Structure 1
């Protein structure tokens, strides 16, 4: 799922280094050097677009991160913001004017120079977006972080956080924002804020979107001519065979990639991915089925667990078909008590997973162990339903098909366990399985025909707001409630410049959320990658920001 924003960054520990790989049979060449090799990685889903501006999902981000860079990036294997295309940055005393000192000698893949002017071209492009580019599904991350545009075309859009960008010289970019926020500048590590070649944006009509908001047609730049500054550059996108091919950027300013070619091949079924790995068709893949881990280890493959920087939740829509019941907090409490989360984690999640009691993972600043907890109790659930005066409750329960997510290894199985628990408490469910993208996401995030659904989040950077703010900082169709007190608490915390005070405010917000109970946090799980044992040099990232530039095939 699309993931989220900024703040005082928190480094996640315990990240495993990888030793992996092997080539596909067609690429085996024991006499050649490792730098001539091809690495094929099995992706769980297709890339959706090749322009970072329009990207919002993890599989697309995985590809784009190899070709593009932003001013800020996450530390390797962690969540802390570190230097990217900007070597350093600082703000004025008011926290509104940010000066970025840029790397020198950097060129885009088309040979043009990266400089302060290029940075401003990109920011002004985002800020001055018009028409379809203002659709929340098209520029999701701009709107999540920066809000509105220079000229908002919808009264639902807020004032923009971005105010201006200037380039005093080639090595400097100055960005002015309209208010103090914990999101800036850490949110700039998001792939959506990668810097594209201004020349390529113009040449390939990057803003020339067609179609409608429900069915966007993307221009040449986004489908066949992406141009960034990263260690790999684009070769081709074979939509028929569901693969994206990249090649080493030999003009890269930093350490050059150790493999010549990098291919992301979509294999949506996890069992098919496993078989492709064993057959040598691919050298690694993501989202390993927890049940497969012992067998893969015994077969000599290398498992790279990520830290559990995610959350799966059951959302309860207070504006859905069953709103007469779901808008009653006692009914929501009954649902929470009815679910045996411990059993779900034990049955469907890998070692190191935990039951969620907040909508953010443990260890992240703002986490509150003192929130209201809802222990598993069918009898308590029945009691609360009786107190609410609710009988014969039937709810529409959506769950996704044809997908596995880092936080949701087996959607159908998890749905069935929860549905069985609810039935014991006297709540029947109508199953609504939908294909993940776009059917499921459209239905549960923008529609009103759902009562319950499964969704989750993998963090974009190390801050509480990136989790709980993404879900609950304003009125959203996914949850269907209006809670001005909660919304105001988020605004106050986001604008608090003192990190210690802000953390305390997030702790209090977590308590408010779990008392109000818009949904039920289910689990935090450490998803894993797997590689053939002849590949080395990759480090697992809690943000799924693995860097293939360091991958080496022996």
Structure 2
């Protein structure tokens, strides 16, 4: 059996003020392969589950778009292949000031954007200020900036970013407004990649307009200019095909394969058929039940480490019965999560005891999941006077996520569990990109729902802070709970702790409170997602963040 599992995720190598500088890049200088070799193809074709929304990573929000922009753009920091740890990318090293509010980045020299413009400190500051100075619809579209930097220049008090200074051509100083464990790590996110200032100006890059529930983007969004190993050659929307070609001015090793083609194939079973027919060389998130069959056909299934969480969210604002801890505990006891993991999730999946995976600093090893105990669930419902509880319980359609390979099957299993303890379930479903996410996040339309999260980087704040830190804008509606404000404040305080050991202890205590005192939702599982490539493919390093780069990939003839 050739199922490959990635190496265990290492703990984050750089965090907040505990690091004074970062080591030199470990980029492999041995050469990227000979894409002209007679025994290798010049194109790697990947089956994408969805079409890209925009090629300017600042406005991107989905994994299918980032899979493409990641090949074109790079940031100051990168991710060490096969891990969730940061490494040097366009910045060779970085160092904080004594108070931790100014970070000096020493930049890689001799780098140019694919349009020939120089990458230097002025370009760094242009990019940072460009993101900070978004206006109107641009602010709405730049969701990752809002998540991680807070507000924009028209609301500086709410912003993590303060300013940027180019002290010389190869030195940029980024000033921030508060200490956080997430900086500078967030600069490794695709959204904050460096782009050519000249191209941004020429393409009127900030001219984003609202249109219905979405946006229209300016010319630049179809002509992105980065420093990565590939450039965008074409996007054939009629045939749903995106073609990238090697960046001839790339500063690093030349890509091992000249071209990358992304074919948009929304249906997973169709992607498998295309792989079997040889018309694509790989695709993401094969159904776990197909893994062995794919291997038997001569393909390689690459299993990533689990760096995610599936949970059942609860809305105590919509359904006041959920404000009673006993009711939330009853739901936790009613769900047979162990059976779900064993029957529906891939080998290596685990029942979750908390809202972060084990690899993240702050994970509390002393916590156990609520045991499956339908008798106790019924007792708790009776104690709370909720023997006739009704829940509107939703799941998404037209989607497969790393933590949730088959949403309907998972939902069906939980419906049976809930009904077995006397809870009446009103089933609701909606397409993932057809209103489901809006109903969960913006509209609070359901009492309970299935959702999850794959970490962007290795920090507890990226999980817990994303879920609960903003008291008035979180999916769990903690603002109506007596402990909601305390939880929000504790998370913000933990994130600001400089000492790594103290910060870890603070998050461990918060995780214990989330399980025993708060229980705003039910952690379900951590699941190792996979991707599959043909037996002719070599050089692919799977990422626990599902953040693979393809410049090292080769395909045999």
Same fold (TM over 0.5): yes
| Among candidates 339, 343, 346, match of residue 339 of structure 2 | 343
1:241 CA displacement: 2.4
**Structure 2 counterparts to residues 428-467 of structure 1, below 5 A:** 428-467=424-463
User: In the alignment, what sits opposite 1:383?
Assistant: 379
| Among candidates 147, 152, 156, match of residue 150 of structure 2 | 147
User: In the alignment, what sits opposite 2:510?
Assistant: 509
Q: Give the Cα separation in 2 of the matches to 1:364 and 1:299.
A: 36
Q: Tell me if structure 2 keeps the 8 A contact 1:8–1:182.
A: no
TM-score under structure 1 length normalisation: 0.91
Deviation sequence 1:423-455 (CA, Å, 0-9, x none): 101112222111111411111111121111111
Q: Which runs of 4+ in 1 moved over 6 A?
A: none
Seen in structure 2, the aligned counterparts of structure 1 residues 486 and 372 have a Cα distance that, compared at 3 Å, is farther
Q: Give the Cα separation in 2 of the matches to 1:372 and 1:549.
A: 42
User: In the alignment, what sits opposite 1:549?
Assistant: 551
Point out the more displaced range, 289-298 or 468-477.
468-477
Seen in structure 2, the aligned counterparts of structure 1 residues 123 and 401 have a Cα distance that, compared at 3 Å, is same
Q: Give the Cα separation in 1 of the matches to 2:13 and 2:453.
A: 17
Q: Give the Cα separation in 2 of the matches to 1:504 and 1:478.
A: 26
Q: Give the Cα separation in 1 of the matches to 2:223 and 2:532.
A: 31
1:392 CA displacement: 2.1
Q: Give the Cα separation in 1 of the matches to 2:133 and 2:111.
A: 26
Task: Give unpaired runs (5+ residues) of structure 2.
Answer: 1-9, 15-34
- Give yes or no for the alignment of 1:67 onto 2:65: no
* Number of aligned residues: 521
- Give yes or no for the alignment of 1:298 onto 2:296: yes
1:144 counterpart SS class: helix
2:404 counterpart SS class: coil
User: In the alignment, what sits opposite 2:168?
Assistant: 169
Q: Give the Cα separation in 1 of the matches to 2:423 and 2:38.
A: 63
Q: Tell me if structure 1 keeps the 8 A contact 2:465–2:492.
A: no
Q: Give the Cα separation in 2 of the matches to 1:387 and 1:199.
A: 66
Q: Tell me if structure 2 keeps the 8 A contact 1:361–1:367.
A: yes
Q: Give the Cα separation in 2 of the matches to 1:84 and 1:327.
A: 47
TM-score under structure 2 length normalisation: 0.91
1:372 CA displacement: 6.0
1:369 CA displacement: 2.6
- Give yes or no for the alignment of 1:534 onto 2:536: yes
Q: Tell me if structure 2 keeps the 8 A contact 1:372–1:511.
A: no
Q: Give the Cα separation in 2 of the matches to 1:348 and 1:548.
A: 30
**Structure 2 counterparts to residues 200-279 of structure 1, below 5 A:** 200-212=199-211, 214-222=213-221, 224-279=222-277
Q: Give the Cα separation in 2 of the matches to 1:325 and 1:241.
A: 50
> Which gives a bigger RCO, structure 1 or 2 (Cα 8 Å, sep 6+)?
1
User: In the alignment, what sits opposite 1:287?
Assistant: 285
- Give yes or no for the alignment of 1:488 onto 2:460: no
Q: Give the Cα separation in 2 of the matches to 1:33 and 1:247.
A: 19
1:469 CA displacement: 1.3
User: In the alignment, what sits opposite 2:126?
Assistant: 121
Deviation sequence 1:36-65 (CA, Å, 0-9, x none): 511111122222211111112211111111
1:31 CA displacement: 8.2
